[in-house]
């Protein structure tokens, strides 16, 4: 299968950070948007986290939701090239390790290379960062990334929409992260309504 030129190409990067459920929602949401083809690349640490967070087979099923699954060692994959028309990349969840490596300009695996390509080509790059607390050098590197054009989104969902489940808690954050890719047909993120104040 070849990427369709007429479709928007989106890359989801998955790191070895807690919160693989974010990636699952991201891929499920993107697969429901017409005219979008999804690529996924996961670090080896993501599989380690999957062993603790996912039911047997769940992680593999999640990866298979993407149209294209690239190995993290495939530095010749289409998404590694600046000439490939990628609409943007979301890394969810994003580990501190990957965020710091991106800030340092490293590109020695596909996830990092694709992130660097987004930065150099001025394409949307959203990092759903999952780590707390943060040290001063982490914050400095995150500022470097923000200055280079990345959107840093701490994986910190809001509670004001009164979620009744974990899925309802994280769905708005996933849609908010995807909104930075400006894809036509994406459902809008639910906004807090000032007319119905928090009780």
Ligand X SMILES: Cc1cc2nc3c(=O)[nH]c(=O)nc-3n(C[C@H](O)[C@H](O)[C@H](O)COP(=O)(O)O)c2cc1C
Judged by beta carbon, residue 48 or residue 168, the one nearer ligand X is 48
What is the token pair recorded at 115? 């992130």
The whole-angstrom separation of Cα 5 and Cα 168 is: 34
| Residue 24: CB minimum distance to ligand X, A | 16
Judged by beta carbon, residue 91 or residue 117, the one nearer ligand X is 91
| Residue 49: CB minimum distance to ligand X, A | 5
**Which residues of this chain interact with ligand X, rule CB under 6 A?**
15-18, 43, 45-46, 48-49, 52, 95-98, 130-131
| Residue 2: CB minimum distance to ligand X, A | 28
The whole-angstrom separation of Cα 191 and Cα 193 is: 6
| Residue 143: CB minimum distance to ligand X, A | 17
Judged by beta carbon, residue 7 or residue 53, the one nearer ligand X is 53
Judged by beta carbon, residue 133 or residue 197, the one nearer ligand X is 133
The whole-angstrom separation of Cα 8 and Cα 86 is: 7
Chain position whose Cβ is nearest to ligand X:
16
Residue in 99, 89, 94 with CA at minimum distance from that of residue 30: 89
Residue in 199, 174, 185, 155 with CA at minimum distance from that of residue 17: 155
Judged by beta carbon, residue 33 or residue 49, the one nearer ligand X is 49
| Residue 38: CB minimum distance to ligand X, A | 19
3-class secondary structure for 85-152? CEEEEEEEEECHHHHHHHHCCCCCCHHHHHHHHHHHCCCCEEEEECCCCCCHHHHHHHHHHHHCCCEE
């Amino acid at each position: 299968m070849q990427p369709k030129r007429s479709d928007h190409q989106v890359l989801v990067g998955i790191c070895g950070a807690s919160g693989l459920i974010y990636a699952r929602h991201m891929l499920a949401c993107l697969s429901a948007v017409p005219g979008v083809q999804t690529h996924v690349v996961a670090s080896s640490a993501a599989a380690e986290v999957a062993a603790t967070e996912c039911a047997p087979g769940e992680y593999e099923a999640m990866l298979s939701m993407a149209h294209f699954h690239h190995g993290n060692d495939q530095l010749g994959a289409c998404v590694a090239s600046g000439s490939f028309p990628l609409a943007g990349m979301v890394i969810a969840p994003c580990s501190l390790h990957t965020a710091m490596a991106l800030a340092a300009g490293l590109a020695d695996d596909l996830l990092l290379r694709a992130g660097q390509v987004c930065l150099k080509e001025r394409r949307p790059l959203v990092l759903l960062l999952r780590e707390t607390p943060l040290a001063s050098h982490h914050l400095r590197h995150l500022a470097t990334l923000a200055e280079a054009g990345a959107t840093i989104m701490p994986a910190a969902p809001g509670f004001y929409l009164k979620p009744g489940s974990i899925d309802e808690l994280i769905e708005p954050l996933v849609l908010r992260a995807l909104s930075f890719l400006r894809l036509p047909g994406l459902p809008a993120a639910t906004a807090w309504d000032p007319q119905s104040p928090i009780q």
